Amino acid sequence: MTNTSRRNPMELMDRYLQAVRFWLPKSQHDLALELAEDLHSQVEAKAAELGRPLDEGEVSAILKECGRPVVVAGRLRPQDYLIGPMIFPAYRFILKMTLLWMMLPIFVFVVGPVHFATTGSLGAAIGSTIGAMWTGGFLAAGIITMVFVVIERTQSKLRVADKWDPRSLPPLEKPERKASGGKTACELIFNLMALAWLLLVPYKPFLILGPAASFLNAGPMWHTFYAPVLLLTVASILRLIVILVRPDWVRFPVWSKLLQTVLSLVVVNYMINAAGQTAGAAWHPFVLAAQGGEQAVKIAAVVNVSILVSLVCTWIGLFIAAVVQTWQAVRSFTRKESFTPGSASLHVF
């Protein structure tokens, strides 16, 4: 006789019920009592059928048929959730928008480059950015979840579901259109003119400084950033040519525009940082007074400050554009097919 068969088979039942109770909240323990009664009745019925008490294997078979304790407890307890099915789509949308479409671009395109500019080490910048992104992501997700948990607990009282008006629904989305050829051609002409202007500036400074070119010279910073700015303009021209040649690449304009904006943002960011690092009494990062006159130095100072302010404004504009273009790019990627007005009738009838 084995050790197993000598054991009281009903002890197995008690162990099973104990395991079920473990997974049930205290308020639901009476369900475990009912389950216990049911299982005892099953054992009794089976014993009556066989005409003898059940052994451990037979009791085990009954318990196995009932199911794993954690699964049984899961089915017994009332359905409870932090965020219910009614508001879950909104929760998922807000979470996705915040984490993927807002925080990720901010960390990748702003925080990362800023860390790189301040530390000067790519590895350290990536490490600190990932660390900050992790913490920020968790914090944002936690706050959003908490807000939605509160909404879940209060929405039935506030009757939010009833308070809506079909007229407040957003307008129909416009189908994705191919880029307009005329507009692209105009952009291309302006970009070619800008390239010509950029190529001429080193030889004809009055093109950028106007009459002040007679007493102001370009500062050393321009030598560093001239090539990236030139390359960006060339890239923009190539991009517009591709759009003109391949108008059927409907996603290319959106994604390439985003890439261009991000690269411009990085260059402008570097320029602002570089200008900030040349601090001191002789702060002249963008233009220098060619002559030693006091008036020329004052004008150079005003021009330097004006250029810095313009760069900061450009940075803000590019950042907003990057966020909007990220949104548009993601939308163009996730949109499987364009929605044609009138197709709703298929669902109505």
Partner 1 sequence: MANGKQSGPEPFENLKLELRRGCLVVAVLGQLRKEQYGYTLRKALADDGLEIDESTLYPLLRRLESQGLLISQWREQDKRNKRFYRLSQVGEGILTQLLEEWQRINASLEKILQEA
Binding site for partner 1 (CB under 8 A): 30-31, 33-35, 37-42, 45, 66-67, 71-72, 75-78
Distance CA 58, CA 52 (A): 11
Q: Closest separation between CB of residue 17 and partner 1, Å?
A: 12
Q: How far is the CB of 51 from partner 1 (least distance, A)?
A: 19
Closest CA to 31 of 45, 17, 10: 17
Find out whether 24 and 32 touch, Cβ atoms under 8 Å: yes
Nearer to partner 1, 18 or 118 (CB): 18
Q: Cβ 141 to partner 1, closest distance in Å?
A: 31
> Considering the complex, what minimum distance in angstroms separates the CB of residue 23 from partner 1?
12
Question: Residue 265: helix, strand or coil by DSSP?
Answer: helix
Nearest to 72 by CA among 120, 119, 19: 19
Closest CB to partner 1 among residues 78, 211: 78
Give the pair of three-digit tokens for residue 216.
Answer: 């102001």
Supply the DSSP symbol for 344. Answer: T
Which C-beta is closer to partner 1: that of 16 or that of 215? Answer: 16
Smaller CB separation from partner 1, 47 or 321: 47
Determine the distance from the C-alpha atom of residue 110 to the mean position of all C-alpha atoms in its chain, rounded to a whole number: 14
Of 30 and 173, CB closest to partner 1: 30
For the bound state, the minimum distance from the C-beta of residue 149 to partner 1, rounded and expressed in Å, comes to 23
Nearest CB to partner 1, comparing residues 27 and 168: 27
What is the closest distance, in whole angstroms, from the C-beta atom of residue 34 to partner 1 in the complex? 5
Whether residue 263 contacts residue 321, with contact meaning beta carbons closer than 8 Å, is answered with no
Quick one: which of 298, 317, 299 has its CA closest to 309? 317
Q: Is 28 or 128 the residue whose CB approaches partner 1 more closely?
A: 28
Check residue 27 and report its DSSP letter.
G
Give me the residue label for tokens 């990085």: 266
Task: Give the torsion through C-alpha atoms of 250, 255, 258, 260, to 10 deg.
Answer: -100
> Backbone phi, then psi, for 87, in 5-degree steps?
-105, 0
**Least separation in angstroms between CB 151 and partner 1:** 25
